[in-house]
Chains A and B, each alone.
Chain A
């Protein structure tokens, strides 16, 4: 689960990390007012969106007056932000953060992330902050400092001290940076984060150390024990169909293509998307209906798929293990009756009672003329691609 910069700043500030105060507004007028209330001569106006690339897209602006703040906010709230991460349609901006600008002497990167290779959380730090950490990692790996955390003990003081030193801090500043690292580590663990990064942590020209941007994501699997975090959820950038699918316990992700798929099992669902593309088609979605495909689930799945106007064909791929293919076939037919298969539907079933299922589908064909039954997955992909050409 993602949260916005302003929410992350808030949480980190509560955790004792030095974050400059900021105001969050949703209109241009409020932005002007916030500028006055902040009281700094130079301030920064930042669009609050999940996607990165804000700076390059013109959605982070330095302003010198209330009027400039109003203009910047107005621009951001009325234009969709388009960056490498948003896709060509861009995203709408609903909230703006406005804070005093700081006089930056140097930018650093501090972050904690799950380290899959080591099966623990690792700290990543660099004296080259302000850019994407992946870029530094690829171009200058020697500029990266890594500290794996002990799975039970978390970050230890000596690790924080030696990191601060490696970043070039000493004395009082070294203590401050070490303290920030320990607090960020503790925050990560206490809140079940998947990523918690401060980029950049700045050293100001007058020697202050401040976190002026923060990104925090949470482990979806742990949200059940963080109701306060769940309350911060913002679905504004989530596709409406994905929200609807989640409510129906369907794992659905919208993609760009026109051949939809409905599959049981995440790995098989990905493989089904892949095989569609292998045969010249473009998948419209990822959809894992899970273990027991029942009529209501199938009906809602089809409704969701068919709500995507781009969909011109559907590939159903179900491997019935515990689930019985004949019951699945009946569920599909019922869905077809209820929703209406106006586009070609290719069904490939395998597993328990598959012969019976094929008979059931064959019998329903007159009623559902766009329905085809396929043999193996290659056959299924070929059929749906050709039916939607």
Chain B
């Protein structure tokens, strides 16, 4: 089953011809087997990108011509929030915004705009590596080959994370232990974002294919705390966690715009303790995420 994306998802790339990496990563998705069906780049409509996919001026045109229901956004920061809104307005169901560096207030407005579309639109990101259902569909920049597609005889773990390469660590470790991944969702490192932990946890809880869940958080904000409260009440599957940034100094932005301890809030310690109280097995070392999954699920 999996969540959000599967072998039928049809994906366009907004910003496919720009310097943001659109065409390069579209190729990565194509090579993985994703149904990449076209892209947009205002002014370049009617041409083909380096992968031979049709390029359109607008998302409307792209959707009408290709039947796309998802988008992967590589549009540069000054225009990316607008691109998110354009996708929603064009009827795209899943927006995966890879772009890092979008002004926070642009995202505040875009999120409000999207709220008008209710449940018919989902946003993942921005500033995220994307979403992958191994063996079926990859929308993003993650290395496909480290993931293990769901198969008979293997249990499947769903992974939700604010990080990129740290997520790949978790994927690698769980694959090495003989698990598959149902879907991996990178919710991104920004403070104002689309889907948050709770939204993805709800989907994993309802997904028959997902046997256990790994959630990877970091300093800043209170999303992990909210997720812990949600897990306590609503999630029956084993949840494993890791929080990055125990050693981060307060007040400093640690790479991700959302990774900042401010006003004494958002520390790793507080997240870890709240998560443990909720029954989440939190690994102390990033190298022990796989081990924690094994311990939590009896192998």
Contacts and interface: CB of A to CB of B under 8 A. Distances in A.
Interface of A: 114, 116-117, 119-121, 133-134, 137-138, 150-152, 189, 192, 194, 219-222, 224-225, 251, 253, 255, 263-278, 283, 286, 288, 319-322, 350-352, 376-379, 381
B224 to A, nearest CB: 12
Contacts of A268: 163-166, 169, 244, 286
Interface stretch (B60-68, B103-111, B207-215, B232-240): B103-111
Contacts of A271: 163, 166, 169, 242, 244, 286
B103 A222 contact: yes
Nearest to B25: A322
A286 B248 contact: yes
A116 B191 contact: yes
B248 A321 contact: no
Contacts of A150: 112
Interface in B245-299: 245-249, 252-259, 263-264, 268, 284-288
A171 B163 CA distance: 51
B260 to A, nearest CB: 9
A267 B244 contact: yes
A351 B191 contact: no
B185 interface: no
A311 B169 CA distance: 26
A119 B284 CA distance: 30
A151 B108 contact: yes
Contacts of B101: 221
Contacts of A120: 108, 112
B172 interface: yes
Interface centre among A276, A377, A379 (most CB of B within 10 A): A377
Closest 5 CB pairs of A and B: A267-B163, A266-B255, A265-B165, A321-B143, A267-B166
Interface of B: 28, 77-78, 101-109, 111-113, 141-143, 145-146, 161-169, 172, 189, 191-192, 216, 218-223, 226, 242, 244-249, 252-259, 263-264, 268, 284-288
A222 B102 CA distance: 7
Contacts of A351: 143, 146, 168, 172
* Residue among B106, B113, B219, B244 with most chain A CB within 10 A: B244
Nearest to B142: A321
Contact of B109 (A134, A152, A220, A274): A152
A253 B254 contact: yes
Contacts of A350: 169, 172
Nearest to B217: A267
Contact of A267 (B167, B192, B226, B249): B167
A224 B287 contact: no
A224 B222 contact: no
Given A268-B166, A268-B169, A376-B287, A151 B244 contact: no
B286 A321 contact: no
> Which of A221, A278, A350, A352 is the most central at the interface, judged by chain B CB atoms within 10 Å of its CB?
A221
Residue among B107, B257, B286, B288 having the largest count of chain A Cβ atoms under 10 Å: B286
Contact of A377 (B245, B247, B285): B285
Contacts of B191: 114, 116
Contact of B163 (A119, A253, A266, A275): A266
A222 B164 contact: no
A251 B259 CA distance: 13
B112 to A, nearest CB: 4
A253 B216 CA distance: 22
B163 A265 contact: yes
B102 A322 contact: no
Nearest to A269: B255
A137 B265 CA distance: 11
Contacts of B218: 266-267, 270
A134 B216 contact: no
B255 A288 contact: yes
Given A276-B247, A321-B168, A376-B287, 6 more contacts: A116-B191, A134-B264, A194-B104, A266-B164, A267-B256, A378-B285
Given A270-B254, A288-B255, A255 B103 contact: no
A272 B103 CA distance: 28
Contacts of A119: 107-108, 111, 192
Interface centre among B105, B146, B249, by most chain A C-beta atoms within 10 angstroms, is B105
A270 B245 contact: yes
A347 to B, nearest CB: 15
Contacts of B259: 266-267, 270
Contacts of B286: 268, 271-272, 274-275, 377
Nearest to A265: B165
A119 B245 CA distance: 22
B176 to A, nearest CB: 10
Given A264-B165, A270-B255, A273-B247, A221 B102 contact: yes
Contacts of B108: 114, 119-121, 151
A80 B90 CA distance: 58
Contacts of B192: 114, 116, 119
Contacts of A121: 105, 108
10 contacts: A152-B109, A267-B216, A267-B218, A269-B255, A270-B244, A270-B247, A271-B169, A273-B245, A321-B165, A321-B168
Contacts of B103: 192, 219, 221-222, 225
Contacts of B189: 266-267
A266 B256 contact: yes
B285 A278 contact: yes
A116 B257 contact: no
Contacts of B255: 251, 265-267, 269-270, 286, 288
A275 B286 CA distance: 7
Nearest to B225: A117
